[in-house]
Amino acid sequence: MPLIRFVLAQLLGWALIFAALKLGAPLTGLALAIGQGALAALASRALHSARWWHVIHLGFTPLVWAASQLGISAGWYLAAFAVLALFYWTSFRTQVPLFLTNAPTARAVLDLLPRRPARVLDAGAGTGSLLRPLAAARPDCHFVGIEAAPGPWLIGRLLAARAPNVDWQRGDFWAEDWGAYDLIYTFLSPVPMPEVWAKAQREMRADARLVSNSFAVPGAQPDFVVPANDAGGRELYVYSPTAKRKAPIKG
């Protein structure tokens, strides 16, 4: 688990620093913080964490030291932590940050909806920046947004309050039955895509589409790819997880 590896690497870094201090190393202030960060980054590498965790370790303790020199009340740091926790919630575990879908991408997804009335799920819906424009453009369709983090969910609930065809939920989209939907949209990260694909293949109907913003399913051939120029700067990977026949990839 990434959080456990982070804590373990930090503890190893501090243990090595304390050992160096016992041996008489002249480390204080910023030098001590930089030394601990470097040792924690090395420990993170030894624990086979992702590379971006090494960068976090390098900067974590030096940034804490720098913040301690500013004389800011601890209450402000607590408030900042609370706000970040409300918006990023379990990102440390899922490794899925908060991504917001932009308007051009929403228009590209609109073109992918069936012409008939359909049910659409935004799995990890953020603040609803995808579903609101879709709901306004297609009042004949039913849209479900599921978001776990309290901050984005509350914003989305307030903004979608007047959209009668939007069902805004707070919860775990993994617990939802994907077989009830004609199109499922995800904008997650590379980490959960194999699990997304496995769930889609288990549960989605043969005529249903899975649309992934930016992140392809490893080893799976998409029906086609909406180019970044047509989708707000990010490619859209379109799959039919349970269909027997695949369409060619667009250029």
- Put simply, whether the predicted model's pTM sits higher than 0.75 gets the answer no
Sign of CA dihedral 59, 64, 70, 75: positive
Backbone angles phi, psi at 225, to 5 degrees: -120, 125
User: 2-6, 114-118, 238-242: which range is least confident on average?
Assistant: 2-6
pLDDT at position 246 over 60: no
Q: Which residues of 29-66 are buried (b: 16+ CB within 10 A; e: fewer)?
A: eeebbbbbbbbbbbbbeeeebeeebbebbbebbbeebe
According to the CATH classification, is domain 103-239 in 3.40.50.720? no
pLDDT band at residue 51 using 50, 70 and 90 as cut-offs: confident
Q: Tens of pLDDT along 175-230?
A: 999 999 999 999 998 888 999 999 999 999 999 999 999 999 999 999 999 999 98
What average pLDDT does this structure show over 9-29? 90
SS3 at position 233: coil
Residues 228/251, Cβ–Cβ less than 8 Å: no
Domain ranges in the chain with CATH number 3.40.50.150 = 103-239
Residue 244 has pLDDT above 60, yes or no: no
Q: How far apart are CA 222 and CA 214, in angstroms?
A: 13
The yes-or-no verdict on residue 249 having pLDDT over 60 is no
**Whether pLDDT at 245 is above 50:** no
Say how far apart CA 15 and CA 169 lie, in whole Å. Answer: 44
pLDDT of 5 = 80
Range 27-44 average pLDDT: 90
Q: Residues 78-93: pLDDT tens digits?
A: 776 666 665 665 655 5
CA distance 220 to 227: 18
Whole-angstrom Cα distance, residue 136 to residue 139?
6
Banded model confidence at residue 148, pLDDT cuts 50, 70, 90: confident
Mean pLDDT estimate for the chain = 87
Amino acid (one-letter) located at 150: P
CA angle 34, 47, 5 (to 5 degrees): 80
Please count the other Cβ atoms lying within 10 Å of the Cβ belonging to residue 131.
Answer: 29
pLDDT digits (tens, 9 = 90+) for 152-175: 889 999 999 999 999 999 999 999
Q: How far apart are CA 158 and CA 239, in angstroms?
A: 32
